[in-house]
Amino acid sequence: MKIDPEVRKEINQVLDAMKEAVEAKNIEALVAQVDSEPNILTVGPCPDNVGLGQNGFRRWMQALLDKATPVKFKLGFTTIKGNGPVVWLDTHVTYTCKNGDNQKEFDFYLSGVMENIKDEWRWSQMHLSAPAELEFPEGPTPPPEAEQATPETTGASQNETPNSEPGEDAPPEWNYM
């Protein structure tokens, strides 16, 4: 559901504050963005990054920030949808950090739900994941007589996508950069 532009502005401010807190390694500012309910679930990109409530979030976020010094936390394309005092969002994050002279960039996906509690937006569910290529087991080798589909047999040319429908670019207000 489309949200009011003022709500979008408020959520973007929360994301900006999150970016600043990560870059400053300000764990208290990050924890303050999570709802104080004890059953709030936050999930991070590492195997031990699952937490319940603010203390669980503090534990895994501190472990993540302790691994290296944040240099940059850049938010990319963001979608925000909502209904009343609840919004859900997805965004791409580029996290650049360094350890000594070694610097590395990581791609993450951040998704979650925020609630407006006492006129402040707080995370009530958060999932930060690191995309990785899935490695599937190889199957049996096809027999040599198996036919391979070709453009001639499928009716599609090299420059044509079968059953393609015209797409539309995302509205500019969805972009958060």
DSSP structure string for 85-104: TEEEEEEEEEEEEEETTEEE
How far is Cα 170 from Cα 177, in angstroms, rounded to an integer?
14
Q: What is the pLDDT of residue 151?
A: 53
Domain 3-127 has CATH 3.10.450.50: yes
Q: What is the pLDDT of residues 14-52, one digit of tens each?
A: 999 999 999 999 999 999 999 999 889 999 887 778 889
Residue type, 41: L
List pLDDT tens digits, range 88-126. 999 999 989 888 888 989 899 999 999 999 999 999 999
* The token pair that represents 116 in the structure block: 């407006």
φ, ψ of residue 51 to 5 degrees: the values are -140, 145
How large a percentage of the chain has pLDDT more than 90?
A: 46
User: Tokens representing 43?
Assistant: 């999930």
Task: Give the SS3 label for residue 157.
Answer: coil
- Inter-residue contact 70 to 27 (CB < 8 Å): no
Over range 150-164, report the average pLDDT.
45
Mean pLDDT score of the chain: 82
Task: Give the number of C-alpha atoms closer than 13 A to the C-alpha of residue 7, restricted to the C-beta side.
Answer: 20
The pLDDT, as a whole number, for residue 146 is 60
With H, G, I as helix, E, B as strand and everything else as coil, classify residue 140. coil
**One-letter-per-residue 3-state SS of 125-136:** EEEEECCCCCCC
